[in-house]
Amino acid sequence: MNHIRKNIVLLMTSWVIATPQVAHAAETLKVDLTDSIRPVTHCASGSLYGMTENEPADIDGLVAPLKPHMFCQPPEGKNGNQHNFGDGYIVAGRLKNTTAKVQITLADLLPNWPYRWPGQQSWLSSVERVVKKKFSEGLTNIHSYVIWNEPDGTWNTSNGDINTTVWKPTYELLRKLDPETPIVGPGMAYYNESRMRTFLTFCKQNNCLPDLICWHQWGSAGFADAVRSVRKLQQELGIPERPYCINEYCAGSDSDKQQYEGCPGYSVPFIAKFERYNVESATISWWHVPHPGRLGSLLTDNGQKGGGWWLYKWYGDMEGYMASVTPPNDRSEGVDGFASVDRKHHCASLVLGGKSVGDVNVVFQKMPDFLSGVVRVKVERVTWKSINTPVNGTDLISESDMVVEGGSLTVPVRIESELYGYRIYITPLNVPQTPYHNETASIPGRVEAENFDVAGQGFSYYDNDDRNKGDGEYRTDEGVDVVKAGNGFAVGYTEKGEWMEYTIDVKETNTYNITANVSNGGEVDGFQLLLDGEALTQSYTIAQTSEDWSVYEEIPVATVQLEKGEHTLKVLIEGNYVNIDWLDFEVADPSAVRNTLDDKKTNTLQGATFYDVQGNQVRREELRRNKCYIGVSSDNKEGVKFVTE
């Protein structure tokens, strides 16, 4: 339906008549925070023609924070085609540093509305040209190809049967040229069971089933039934279930509904249902025809953030998994919500709204373990007046500490307008920090660097990025980067300022020698150890051990005094890129000079000359524990070292 509007001048009202409030009993929204629907994908975050060659100009500020999943764009933006803007390949290039992929709508190669069919041969050669262009441009963020758009209204049957004339030959050409990229269809203007049956039956018989089943959704009330219908058809026809793509969605296709494109209160039930029914991708419609590149009306004509932008930012902020939400009526546009649980950052959030005004009791059940006892609950709101009204931010309605009882928590929210969106954001007051697998490292003994405590980013560790970039495939849901090291694992990709904490149990008060097994293929780097927040050692520098990062070396770090009992050991990274496998704590032998001063093991002191504090030169073999010496490195790189062994 997106193209009829090309020539329509929309008279947008800049105000909306308030719905009269009708007193009724509070509605209940149930949220089961332990029941994961699926990982967070932000499936519904993109838009149709939401990007152009130059709008929005500020990708980092306006696009990336929404963590968009997919934008639906023409293969080319040029005169003679459907649109002279929004070139999908240029847009894909603009989006290359974001989470977004681009869906290519092949029918946009054609002029006129409804599309002017150029004949099969000409069509297939145009398709071949743009698919080859994808490869020649080396793009890796192309989401899929949509073969046709709204065949129910844009195909002239005098040109033949669309399935045999367009769908099958185009499908076969795409499979031949680009077998990896998903094919999307039928792209119906709205869900219709009998048309879907005809299409799927043809595809099954002709071995050309789409990878994603696609239609447009006007109003969220009918979505659940559409999914039930298409699932039933797939079962009936023996078609394995496949994901859905809703590449246009809005409150409606009539002009009185188009004005709600991107409106928070109308968007929430859509997103809620798309998450609930496992939609792979969904894009906001393009009703504001005079001005594409507005992220589906999340931005105003001036490119400012509207209320919708802030709603989708809440969505973009979600990480972890989407939790199950049960609305009062799934077959309505009434109040609904979508929720996520983010174990890494210790928060849960629910965004709610819908075409309903009044009190809603949000009942959270099966709260995750990190949200027990007393939790902090923020209720926030985003307002909306019209698609051209900028909104500066979200409003904090309340912030309170609430008690979780029996794993449940009820938060009342008053929906003041069907146009607004609301968020409940829950965080723990305290995050319990526990040893990994509840196995406290015993001292004397070994602390494995990769077995940092459990509590998460900012609590038991700090890592510069949230992703575990290591190849160890160990604790992959944490931010610390764990790499393979011999038969075990080590912490790698360390950067200055990062840290990990370990609960240790010191069995006896004593003096301990600390040895680290490390690898450092680069510059001189290092770390510092802290115990219960106090410096335990100086910053310890480590010279290059070997150019080969897989070669680890045991390096004496320091000799320290430890008190019996449980402590928190912190490893603070002081220079980029040292891999740490483990730290050994051994009771010091008071009669021995630590091999800290062993040439072989302390590259930084290799060839050094040692002096006692009076300035007398001391031979290496005369060095004694618990005395202070000055070591002067011969390579002029390290300068003077104080050696406290």
H-type helices in 466-597, by residue range?
none
Q: How far is the CB of 526 from Ca ion (least distance, A)?
A: 15
Taking the least distance from each CB to Ca ion, the nearer of 550 and 617 is: 550
Question: What is the spatial order of strands in the sheet that 27-39 belongs to?
Answer: 395-403, 374-382, 421-428, 347-353, 336-342, 321-326, 27-39, 358-365, 409-415
Binder of Ca ion out of 463, 478, 525, 584 (CB under 5 A): 463
Q: Pick the piece of the chain touching Ca ion (CB under 5 A) from 155-163, 243-251, 329-337, 448-456.
A: 448-456
Total residues contacting Ca ion by CB under 5 A comes to 9
User: Beta 553-562 vs 510-519: how paired, if at all?
Assistant: antiparallel
Closest Cα partner for 217 from 264, 267, 256?
Answer: 267
Q: Which span sits near Ca ion by CB under 5 A: 84-92, 283-291, 446-454, 548-556?
A: 446-454
State which residue, 378 or 469, has the beta carbon closest to Ca ion. Answer: 469
The nearer residue to Ca ion, 55 or 581, going by C-beta atoms, is: 581
- Could you give the 3-state DSSP secondary structure of residue 541? strand
Q: How far apart are CA 242 and CA 489, in angstroms?
A: 38
Q: Are 525 and 578 in contact (CB under 8 A)?
A: yes
DSSP type of residue 229: H
CB of 569 to Ca ion, least distance (A): 15
Among residues 356, 185, 182, 200, the alpha carbon closest in space to that of 265 is found at 356
- Looking at 251-305, which runs of residues are DSSP E strands? 279-284
> Of 172 and 495, which has the nearer Cβ to Ca ion?
495
Q: 493, 540, 585, 610: which one contacts Ca ion (CB under 5 A)?
A: 493
In this chain, which of 330, 342, 448, 645 binds Ca ion, going by CB under 5 A? 448
- Closest distance between Ca ion and the C-beta of residue 580, in Å? 8
Task: Return the number of the residue (242 or 469) whose C-beta is nearest Ca ion.
Answer: 469
Which of 53, 369, 401, 465 is close enough to bind Ca ion by CB under 5 A? Answer: 465
Pick from 382, 474, 458: which is nearest to 425 by CA?
Answer: 382
* Residue 158 C-beta: closest distance to Ca ion, Å: 59
Shortest Cβ 101–Ca ion spacing (Å): 23
CA distance 435 to 439: 6
Kindly indicate which of the ranges 26-34, 255-263, 393-401, 444-452 contains the residues binding Ca ion, using the contact rule CB under 5 A. 444-452
- Residue placing its CB nearer to Ca ion in the complex, 263 or 443: 443
Structure tokens at 298: 């999340």
CB of residue 489 to Ca ion, shortest distance in Å: 5
Using the rule CB under 5 A, is 445 a contact of Ca ion? no
Residue 261 or 481: the one with the smaller Cβ distance to Ca ion is 481
For residue 581, the minimal CB distance to Ca ion (Å) is: 4
Per CB under 5 A, the list member of 292, 479, 556, 631 interacting with Ca ion is: 479
Instruction: Please state the closest distance from residue 344 (CB atom) to Ca ion, in A.
Output: 11
Least separation in angstroms between residue 494's CB and Ca ion is 6
In the set 380, 481, 638, 645, which binds Ca ion (CB under 5 A)?
A: 481
Burial of residue 150 (number of CB atoms within 10 Å: 0-12, 13-18, 19+) = buried
Query: Which part of the chain contacts Ca ion (CB under 5 A), choosing from 265-273, 487-495, 555-563, 626-634?
Result: 487-495
- CA 278 – CA 243 distance, rounded (Å): 7
Q: Give the shortest CB-440-to-Ca ion separation in angstroms.
A: 16
Q: Which of residues 10-49 bind Ca ion (CB under 5 A)?
A: none
Q: Give the Å distances, CA to CA, from 169 to 147, 362, 637.
A: 10, 51, 69
Contacts of 460 (CB under 8 A, 6+ apart): 433, 452, 453, 454, 500, 501
Q: Which is nearer to Ca ion, 147 or 482 (CB)?
A: 482
Question: Tokens standing for 582?
Answer: 């483990």
Contacts of 309 (CB under 8 A, 6+ apart): 62, 66, 262, 295, 298, 299, 391
**Among the residue ranges 217-225, 253-261, 278-286, 447-455, the one whose residues contact Ca ion (CB under 5 A):** 447-455
Closest separation in Å from C-beta 537 to Ca ion: 19
Could you tell me which of 63, 71, 106, 117 has the C-alpha nearest to residue 90? Answer: 71
Can you tell me the distance from the alpha carbon of 420 to that of 412, in angstroms, rounded to the nearest whole number? 16
The Cα-based distances of 384 to 15, 44, 252, 416 in angstroms read 10, 19, 18, 11
Shortest Cβ distance from residue 518 to Ca ion (Å)?
A: 10
- Please list every residue from 565 through 594 that binds Ca ion, using CB under 5 A: 581-582
The owner of tokens 């301990």 is 512
* DSSP conformation class of 612: E
* Binding test (CB under 5 A) with Ca ion, winner from 93, 390, 432, 488: 488
* Interface residues toward Ca ion, by CB under 5 A: 448, 463, 465, 479, 481, 488, 493, 581-582
